[in-house]
Amino acid sequence: MTDLRVSLAGLELDNPVIPASGCFGYGKEFAAYYDINLLGSFSFKGTTLEKRFGNPTPRIAETPDGMLNSVGLQNPGVRHVIDVELPEMRAYFRKPVIANVSGFSIDEYVETCRLLDGQEQVGLIEVNISCPNVHGGGMAFGTDPASAAAVTRAVKAVAKKPVYIKLSPNVTDIAAIAKACEAAGADGISLINTLLGMRVDLRTRRPVLANRMGGLSGPAVLPVALRMVYQVWEAVKLPIMGMGGVTTARDVIEMMLCGATAVQVGAANLVNPYACREIIEQLPVEMEKLGIGSLSEIIGGAHA
Protein backbone atom coordinates (compact mmCIF):
# COMPACT_ATOMS: atom_id res chain seq x y z
CA MET A 1 0.00 0.00 0.00
CA THR A 2 1.45 3.37 -1.01
CA ASP A 3 0.96 6.62 0.91
CA LEU A 4 0.91 9.80 -1.19
CA ARG A 5 0.09 12.22 1.63
CA VAL A 6 2.30 15.24 2.42
CA SER A 7 2.05 18.28 4.70
CA LEU A 8 2.85 21.86 3.66
CA ALA A 9 3.37 24.04 6.74
CA GLY A 10 0.31 22.41 8.32
CA LEU A 11 -1.74 22.19 5.11
CA GLU A 12 -2.43 18.48 4.71
CA LEU A 13 -2.55 17.24 1.10
CA ASP A 14 -3.81 13.88 -0.19
CA ASN A 15 -0.92 13.92 -2.66
CA PRO A 16 1.88 16.33 -3.62
CA VAL A 17 0.59 17.22 -7.12
CA ILE A 18 -0.45 20.87 -7.53
CA PRO A 19 -1.21 22.62 -10.84
CA ALA A 20 0.92 25.76 -11.00
CA SER A 21 -0.40 29.30 -11.12
CA GLY A 22 -0.92 30.66 -14.61
CA CYS A 23 -1.50 27.20 -16.08
CA PHE A 24 -4.79 26.24 -14.42
CA GLY A 25 -6.81 29.45 -14.18
CA TYR A 26 -9.31 29.01 -11.36
CA GLY A 27 -9.76 25.31 -12.15
CA LYS A 28 -13.12 25.75 -13.83
CA GLU A 29 -12.09 24.70 -17.34
CA PHE A 30 -10.25 21.63 -16.07
CA ALA A 31 -13.17 20.61 -13.85
CA ALA A 32 -15.10 20.03 -17.09
CA TYR A 33 -12.58 17.29 -17.99
CA TYR A 34 -12.19 15.46 -14.66
CA ASP A 35 -12.91 15.72 -10.93
CA ILE A 36 -10.13 18.09 -9.88
CA ASN A 37 -10.73 17.22 -6.21
CA LEU A 38 -8.23 14.41 -6.71
CA LEU A 39 -5.48 17.08 -6.81
CA GLY A 40 -3.46 17.87 -3.71
CA SER A 41 -4.51 21.49 -4.27
CA PHE A 42 -3.98 24.07 -7.02
CA SER A 43 -2.41 27.50 -7.21
CA PHE A 44 -4.89 29.80 -8.88
CA LYS A 45 -4.16 32.52 -11.40
CA GLY A 46 -1.66 35.14 -10.23
CA THR A 47 -3.60 37.96 -8.57
CA THR A 48 -2.77 41.63 -8.22
CA LEU A 49 -4.53 44.38 -6.29
CA GLU A 50 -6.04 45.93 -9.42
CA LYS A 51 -7.13 44.16 -12.60
CA ARG A 52 -4.57 43.88 -15.40
CA PHE A 53 -4.97 43.33 -19.12
CA GLY A 54 -1.41 42.03 -19.34
CA ASN A 55 1.13 42.48 -22.10
CA PRO A 56 0.36 43.10 -25.78
CA THR A 57 0.17 40.16 -28.17
CA PRO A 58 1.80 38.02 -29.41
CA ARG A 59 2.73 36.79 -25.96
CA ILE A 60 3.18 33.03 -26.46
CA ALA A 61 5.91 31.35 -28.50
CA GLU A 62 6.84 27.69 -28.87
CA THR A 63 10.37 26.44 -28.24
CA PRO A 64 12.01 23.01 -28.44
CA ASP A 65 10.73 21.11 -25.37
CA GLY A 66 8.95 24.12 -23.97
CA MET A 67 7.27 27.46 -24.48
CA LEU A 68 7.83 31.15 -23.87
CA ASN A 69 5.11 33.26 -22.31
CA SER A 70 4.86 36.97 -21.74
CA VAL A 71 1.27 37.15 -20.53
CA GLY A 72 2.14 39.81 -17.98
CA LEU A 73 -0.08 38.82 -15.05
CA GLN A 74 -3.41 39.29 -16.79
CA ASN A 75 -6.06 38.93 -14.08
CA PRO A 76 -9.34 40.52 -12.93
CA GLY A 77 -7.96 41.91 -9.66
CA VAL A 78 -8.26 40.66 -6.11
CA ARG A 79 -11.75 42.02 -5.40
CA HIS A 80 -13.21 40.22 -8.41
CA VAL A 81 -11.46 37.02 -7.33
CA ILE A 82 -13.00 37.31 -3.85
CA ASP A 83 -16.48 38.33 -5.04
CA VAL A 84 -16.81 36.05 -8.09
CA GLU A 85 -14.12 33.42 -8.61
CA LEU A 86 -13.86 32.01 -5.09
CA PRO A 87 -17.65 31.68 -4.61
CA GLU A 88 -17.96 29.91 -7.99
CA MET A 89 -15.05 27.65 -7.08
CA ARG A 90 -17.00 26.16 -4.16
CA ALA A 91 -19.19 24.31 -6.66
CA TYR A 92 -16.33 22.25 -8.11
CA PHE A 93 -13.44 22.23 -5.63
CA ARG A 94 -13.82 21.29 -1.98
CA LYS A 95 -10.23 21.55 -0.76
CA PRO A 96 -8.20 24.59 0.33
CA VAL A 97 -6.55 26.40 -2.58
CA ILE A 98 -3.28 28.27 -2.94
CA ALA A 99 -3.58 32.00 -3.61
CA ASN A 100 -0.79 33.25 -5.87
CA VAL A 101 -0.13 36.96 -5.32
CA SER A 102 1.97 39.48 -7.21
CA GLY A 103 2.46 43.22 -6.93
CA PHE A 104 4.30 46.34 -8.02
CA SER A 105 5.06 47.69 -4.55
CA ILE A 106 5.30 46.26 -1.06
CA ASP A 107 2.03 48.02 -0.16
CA GLU A 108 0.27 46.23 -3.05
CA TYR A 109 1.61 42.85 -1.95
CA VAL A 110 0.48 43.53 1.61
CA GLU A 111 -3.06 44.62 0.75
CA THR A 112 -3.66 41.78 -1.71
CA CYS A 113 -2.37 39.21 0.77
CA ARG A 114 -4.43 40.73 3.59
CA LEU A 115 -7.62 40.42 1.55
CA LEU A 116 -6.95 36.85 0.42
CA ASP A 117 -5.79 35.76 3.87
CA GLY A 118 -9.32 36.39 5.10
CA GLN A 119 -10.90 33.96 2.63
CA GLU A 120 -11.92 30.58 4.05
CA GLN A 121 -11.03 28.68 0.87
CA VAL A 122 -7.45 29.93 0.85
CA GLY A 123 -5.20 27.51 2.70
CA LEU A 124 -1.85 28.98 1.75
CA ILE A 125 -0.52 32.17 0.14
CA GLU A 126 2.16 31.97 -2.54
CA VAL A 127 3.87 35.33 -2.98
CA ASN A 128 5.33 35.68 -6.45
CA ILE A 129 8.42 37.88 -6.36
CA SER A 130 9.75 36.30 -9.54
CA CYS A 131 7.63 37.09 -12.59
CA PRO A 132 9.96 38.04 -15.48
CA ASN A 133 7.19 39.42 -17.71
CA VAL A 134 6.27 42.72 -16.05
CA HIS A 135 8.12 45.99 -15.57
CA GLY A 136 8.60 47.49 -12.14
CA GLY A 137 7.35 44.53 -10.13
CA GLY A 138 7.57 40.80 -9.71
CA MET A 139 11.15 39.82 -10.44
CA ALA A 140 12.41 43.25 -9.33
CA PHE A 141 11.81 42.11 -5.74
CA GLY A 142 13.10 38.58 -6.25
CA THR A 143 16.62 39.23 -7.47
CA ASP A 144 17.94 40.93 -4.33
CA PRO A 145 18.00 39.31 -0.85
CA ALA A 146 17.12 42.54 0.96
CA SER A 147 14.13 43.25 -1.29
CA ALA A 148 12.91 39.66 -1.04
CA ALA A 149 13.16 39.85 2.74
CA ALA A 150 11.30 43.16 2.85
CA VAL A 151 8.33 41.74 0.94
CA THR A 152 8.33 38.60 3.08
CA ARG A 153 8.43 40.53 6.35
CA ALA A 154 5.66 42.90 5.29
CA VAL A 155 3.33 40.12 4.11
CA LYS A 156 3.93 38.00 7.19
CA ALA A 157 2.84 40.95 9.34
CA VAL A 158 -0.70 40.75 7.91
CA ALA A 159 -1.13 37.07 6.99
CA LYS A 160 -2.19 34.42 9.48
CA LYS A 161 -2.01 31.62 6.90
CA PRO A 162 1.27 30.07 5.73
CA VAL A 163 3.24 32.22 3.29
CA TYR A 164 5.45 30.66 0.62
CA ILE A 165 7.74 32.93 -1.39
CA LYS A 166 8.06 32.05 -5.08
CA LEU A 167 11.62 32.65 -6.24
CA SER A 168 13.17 33.50 -9.59
CA PRO A 169 15.79 31.30 -11.24
CA ASN A 170 17.18 34.40 -12.96
CA VAL A 171 19.69 35.06 -10.18
CA THR A 172 23.30 34.17 -9.43
CA ASP A 173 22.70 32.70 -5.96
CA ILE A 174 19.24 31.22 -5.38
CA ALA A 175 20.24 29.99 -1.90
CA ALA A 176 21.02 33.51 -0.71
CA ILE A 177 17.54 34.70 -1.69
CA ALA A 178 15.93 31.72 0.05
CA LYS A 179 17.93 32.34 3.24
CA ALA A 180 16.83 35.98 3.29
CA CYS A 181 13.18 34.93 3.00
CA GLU A 182 13.62 32.37 5.77
CA ALA A 183 15.18 34.96 8.06
CA ALA A 184 12.26 37.32 7.34
CA GLY A 185 9.73 34.72 8.49
CA ALA A 186 8.63 32.82 5.36
CA ASP A 187 6.83 29.54 6.04
CA GLY A 188 8.10 27.94 2.83
CA ILE A 189 9.70 28.46 -0.55
CA SER A 190 8.31 27.89 -4.08
CA LEU A 191 10.73 27.46 -6.97
CA ILE A 192 11.37 27.87 -9.78
CA ASN A 193 9.54 30.42 -11.85
CA THR A 194 10.32 30.65 -15.56
CA LEU A 195 13.73 31.33 -17.07
CA LEU A 196 14.07 34.51 -19.11
CA GLY A 197 14.35 33.78 -22.84
CA MET A 198 13.40 34.95 -26.32
CA ARG A 199 12.90 33.90 -29.94
CA VAL A 200 13.34 35.81 -33.21
CA ASP A 201 11.09 35.59 -36.29
CA LEU A 202 13.46 34.96 -39.21
CA ARG A 203 11.10 36.57 -41.72
CA THR A 204 10.61 39.86 -39.89
CA ARG A 205 13.98 39.71 -38.10
CA ARG A 206 12.26 40.89 -34.95
CA PRO A 207 11.52 39.21 -31.60
CA VAL A 208 8.49 36.91 -31.76
CA LEU A 209 7.04 38.25 -28.50
CA ALA A 210 5.71 41.80 -28.40
CA ASN A 211 7.45 42.15 -25.04
CA ARG A 212 10.66 40.87 -26.72
CA MET A 213 11.45 38.50 -23.85
CA GLY A 214 9.37 36.05 -21.88
CA GLY A 215 9.51 33.18 -19.43
CA LEU A 216 10.69 29.75 -20.60
CA SER A 217 8.83 26.76 -19.16
CA GLY A 218 8.33 23.12 -20.09
CA PRO A 219 10.50 19.97 -19.97
CA ALA A 220 13.65 21.87 -21.02
CA VAL A 221 13.89 23.60 -17.63
CA LEU A 222 13.55 20.49 -15.41
CA PRO A 223 17.30 20.01 -14.78
CA VAL A 224 17.66 23.66 -13.74
CA ALA A 225 14.67 23.35 -11.40
CA LEU A 226 16.03 20.18 -9.82
CA ARG A 227 19.40 21.81 -9.24
CA MET A 228 17.87 24.85 -7.56
CA VAL A 229 15.50 22.83 -5.36
CA TYR A 230 18.50 20.75 -4.30
CA GLN A 231 20.52 23.87 -3.43
CA VAL A 232 17.71 25.56 -1.51
CA TRP A 233 16.94 22.38 0.49
CA GLU A 234 20.53 22.44 1.73
CA ALA A 235 20.41 26.18 2.51
CA VAL A 236 17.17 26.49 4.53
CA LYS A 237 15.00 24.48 6.89
CA LEU A 238 11.72 25.41 5.19
CA PRO A 239 9.43 23.14 3.16
CA ILE A 240 9.69 23.60 -0.59
CA MET A 241 7.17 23.48 -3.41
CA GLY A 242 9.23 22.49 -6.43
CA MET A 243 8.25 23.15 -10.03
CA GLY A 244 9.71 23.58 -13.49
CA GLY A 245 9.39 21.15 -16.37
CA VAL A 246 7.53 18.42 -14.48
CA THR A 247 5.50 16.17 -16.81
CA THR A 248 5.56 12.67 -15.28
CA ALA A 249 5.22 10.83 -11.98
CA ARG A 250 8.92 10.02 -12.14
CA ASP A 251 9.67 13.76 -12.41
CA VAL A 252 7.63 14.29 -9.23
CA ILE A 253 9.63 11.66 -7.38
CA GLU A 254 12.91 13.11 -8.62
CA MET A 255 11.87 16.59 -7.50
CA MET A 256 10.94 15.26 -4.04
CA LEU A 257 14.26 13.45 -3.72
CA CYS A 258 15.95 16.81 -4.37
CA GLY A 259 13.98 18.33 -1.49
CA ALA A 260 10.45 19.27 -2.56
CA THR A 261 7.57 18.46 -0.23
CA ALA A 262 5.01 19.16 -2.97
CA VAL A 263 5.42 19.51 -6.72
CA GLN A 264 3.66 21.94 -9.02
CA VAL A 265 2.89 21.08 -12.64
CA GLY A 266 2.70 23.99 -15.07
CA ALA A 267 3.07 23.94 -18.85
CA ALA A 268 2.15 20.25 -19.07
CA ASN A 269 -1.47 21.23 -18.33
CA LEU A 270 -1.52 23.37 -21.47
CA VAL A 271 -0.41 20.44 -23.62
CA ASN A 272 -2.59 17.80 -21.96
CA PRO A 273 -5.51 18.86 -19.73
CA TYR A 274 -5.35 15.45 -18.03
CA ALA A 275 -1.66 15.80 -17.14
CA CYS A 276 -2.09 16.14 -13.37
CA ARG A 277 -4.67 13.37 -13.17
CA GLU A 278 -2.38 11.02 -15.08
CA ILE A 279 0.58 11.86 -12.85
CA ILE A 280 -1.44 11.16 -9.69
CA GLU A 281 -2.71 7.86 -11.11
CA GLN A 282 0.82 6.81 -12.08
CA LEU A 283 2.51 7.76 -8.80
CA PRO A 284 1.57 4.55 -6.89
CA VAL A 285 2.75 2.47 -9.86
CA GLU A 286 6.14 4.17 -9.94
CA MET A 287 6.43 4.05 -6.14
CA GLU A 288 5.94 0.29 -6.15
CA LYS A 289 8.56 -0.11 -8.90
CA LEU A 290 11.04 1.93 -6.85
CA GLY A 291 10.20 0.38 -3.48
CA ILE A 292 8.74 3.58 -2.03
CA GLY A 293 6.04 3.12 0.58
CA SER A 294 5.47 6.75 1.57
CA LEU A 295 6.27 9.88 -0.45
CA SER A 296 6.84 11.94 2.70
CA GLU A 297 9.74 9.67 3.61
CA ILE A 298 11.73 10.40 0.41
CA ILE A 299 11.81 14.20 0.71
CA GLY A 300 15.45 15.27 0.40
CA GLY A 301 16.53 11.65 -0.10
CA ALA A 302 19.07 12.55 -2.81
CA HIS A 303 21.24 14.41 -0.29
CA ALA A 304 24.18 12.72 1.36
270-298 pLDDT, tens digit each:
999 999 999 999 999 999 999 999 999 99
Task: Decide if 62 is inside a domain.
Answer: no
User: How many domains does the chain divide into?
Assistant: 1
Q: Annotate 115-146 with three-state secondary structure.
A: HHHCCCCEEEEEEECCCCCCCCCCHHHHCCHH
Burial 64-93 (b: 16+ CB within 10 A, else e): eebbbbbbbbbbbebeebbeebbeebeeeb
164-212 pLDDT, tens digit each:
999 999 999 999 999 999 999 999 999 999 999 999 999 999 999 999 9
Within 10 Å of residue 7's Cβ, how many Cβ atoms? Answer: 12
Q: Quote the pTM value.
A: 0.95
Task: Decide if 103 is inside a domain.
Answer: yes
| Whether residue 135 has pLDDT greater than 70 | no
Residue from 23, 131, 181, 258 carrying the catalytic annotation: 131
What CATH number did the domain enclosing 142 receive? 3.20.20.70
Amino acid at 152: T
Task: Decide if 303 is inside a domain.
Answer: no
| Whether residue 63 has pLDDT greater than 70 | yes
Task: Decide if 63 is inside a domain.
Answer: no
Task: Decide if 210 is inside a domain.
Answer: no
Task: Decide if 66 is inside a domain.
Answer: no
C-alpha triplet 163, 166, 167: angle, nearest 5°:
135
State how far Cα 180 lies from the chain centre.
19
| Whether residue 138 has pLDDT greater than 90 | no
Q: How confident is the model at residue 133 (pLDDT cuts 50, 70, 90)?
A: low
Tell me whether residue 131 is one of the annotated catalytic residues. Answer: yes
Task: Decide if 65 is inside a domain.
Answer: no
179 three-state secondary structure: helix
Within 10 Å of residue 5's Cβ, how many Cβ atoms? Answer: 13
Instruction: Give kind and range of the element (H or E) at residue 149.
Output: helix 145-156
The domain in which residue 168 lies consists of 6-54+72-204+215-297
223-264 pLDDT, tens digit each:
999 999 999 999 999 999 999 999 999 999 999 999 999 999
Task: Decide if 92 is inside a domain.
Answer: yes
